[in-house]
Amino acid sequence: EDRLQWKEHAMTFAMQDYPGEFTKFNFPKGLPAPFNMAYAILTNDKMLTWVEKLRTGAPLVPMLVGGQEYINAQDELSVQEWMKKNFMPERVREELFIAMGKALDFIDSDKLSMTVILTAMNRFINETHGSKTAFLDGNQPDRLCKPMADHVVAAGGEVRTGCGLREILLDATTGEVTGLALAGGEVVTGDHYVSAMPVDALKLL
């Protein structure tokens, strides 16, 4: 927490039709979720018209009702496919969802899974400070990666870098991960396996 510099609770977007101009969705202090997000959307009159707000909000109702189960079920649809399926305005995709996709995963909307966007939006809706951002007070290697590595080592663990992954080994019957085959030929096993690889990139393999 002492390494973070918290910013005002707002989402800022560049105005495509007005180069150099920006608009903000301001989340008021003291107003809990989801009312703070509703306030931010309804009080912004520069990016979306009222018709576009209604056409954007209606397809999100199943997410509010179905929760994570609905969100996971949208994984096979790209952002662009999901929007076309739900008859959302093209301008919303261009002005809003492309920016969100780039911010979340740096992938174009025709390749990014809608589950990524919906997961973020679900957090924004259900957590009062879900969309609030902060910056590190220094570079990532020193202020983020090193403290994490030091914590692992202090707990008796080992941090290894420069070890390319050749294959994720699976049990032929259960499909569970049994080990990691490294590029150098070594096989690493453990009680738990956690991958930070982007899911969308894995789909291309």
Residue-wise pLDDT tens digits, 143-201: 889 999 999 999 999 999 989 999 999 999 999 999 999 999 999 999 999 988 776 66
Contacts of 159 (CB under 8 A, 6+ apart): 149, 152, 153
* 22 vs 84: CA distance, rounded Å: 27
Q: Where are the alpha helices (DSSP H) in 13-145?
A: 35-43, 50-57, 61-73, 79-85, 90-92, 98-105, 114-126, 140
Residue pLDDT, tens place only, 2-51: 788 888 898 888 887 788 889 899 999 999 988 998 899 889 888 888 88
Q: What is the pTM assigned to this prediction?
A: 0.62
* 26 vs 188: CA distance, rounded Å: 47
Residue pLDDT, tens place only, 70-122: 999 999 999 889 999 999 888 887 777 777 777 776 677 788 889 988 998 88
The answer to whether the beta carbons of residues 80 and 100 sit under 8 Å apart is no
- Considering only CA atoms, which of 118, 138, 44, 106 is closest in space to residue 74? 118
- Considering only CA atoms, which of 48, 108, 99, 120 is closest in space to residue 81? 108
